[in-house]
Amino acid sequence: MRLDALVSYLDEYLRLAEEVADAPEALNGLQVANAGEITKLAAAVDVCEATVRLAAVQRADCLLVHHGLFWGGLRPLSGPAYRRVAGLIKGNIALYSAHLPLDRHPKVGNNHVLAGLLGIRVRGEFGSYHGAPIGVWGEYAGKRDDLSWSLTKTLGAAPRLLPFGPERLQRVGIVTGAGGSMISQAAAAGLDSYVTGEGQHWTFFDAEELGVNVFYAGHYATETVGVKALAEHISKKFDIPWVFLDHPTGL
């Protein structure tokens, strides 16, 4: 498949032209080109030296990621930054990154996919990030321990639970990644429970004082689901093999 055809499809499917502002470091879309042909996809949460190396071992010529090259801001192409780019070019690996568009996508987005895996019936959106609604909320018929077990089974590690809401859940919100600062927005939306990846120390008191159950299930872990769903979608549509490159941070 031609790289330009894949990029055109991804840009449209992920609605890059329609999306409102993202973090400037996201630079959504094609970040590094290759010689022009795609025969195998690799998907990863982050681009780093390890995932570039794994993509080369797998002979993938396109790497789809959630966090691209520029999260550290402007920096010279030296040290690790150089080695990442040099590894992509040496391996003839194109790099495509999608941050907020992948979080929010109704089919392959991190939030929607995780909700489906957990048995949460999505009913709407909540929260704002860079001026755009970011989270989803839905109905859940179960207890705190049930959702904890579902997260453990789905993501491979037990979440850190802040048990300050009701034991029996009804309205659960999800913002994958670093969404701890949005506990107050979850409470304002009338949610009794909130699933996210990680949060700062002070978010404990937000959960405690607002009476919300918070499940910290890992920044990395909660954002594995979207890139997997996107790669699987592309694989089925264009008959291209794909592989997930697992490089967990434990955070």
Backbone angles phi, psi at 53, to 5 degrees: -65, -45
Backbone angles phi, psi at 239, to 5 degrees: 55, 50
* DSSP secondary structure string for all residues of 212-224: -EEEE--HHHHTH
CATH superfamily of 105-219: NIF3 (NGG1p interacting factor 3)-like (3.40.1390.30)
Sign for the CA dihedral angle at 222, 68, 40, 246 comes to: negative
Q: CATH code for 3-99?
A: 3.40.1390.30
With residue 125 as reference, give the H or E element that holds it. Answer: strand 121-129
Band of residue 109 on the pLDDT scale cut at 50, 70, 90: very high
> Which of these, 218, 42, 225, 98, lies nearest to 50 by C-alpha position?
42
Asked if 27 contacts 226 with a C-beta cutoff of 8 angstroms, the reply is no
For CATH 3.40.1390.30, list the domain ranges present in the chain. Answer: 3-99, 105-219
Task: Write out pLDDT tens, residues 15-72.
Answer: 998 866 788 889 999 999 999 999 999 999 999 999 999 999 999 999 999 999 998 8
Q: pLDDT averaged over the chain?
A: 96
Q: Are 214 and 203 in contact, with CB atoms under 8 Å apart?
A: yes
Q: 171-228, pLDDT tens digit by residue?
A: 999 999 999 999 999 999 999 999 999 999 999 999 999 999 999 999 999 999 999 9
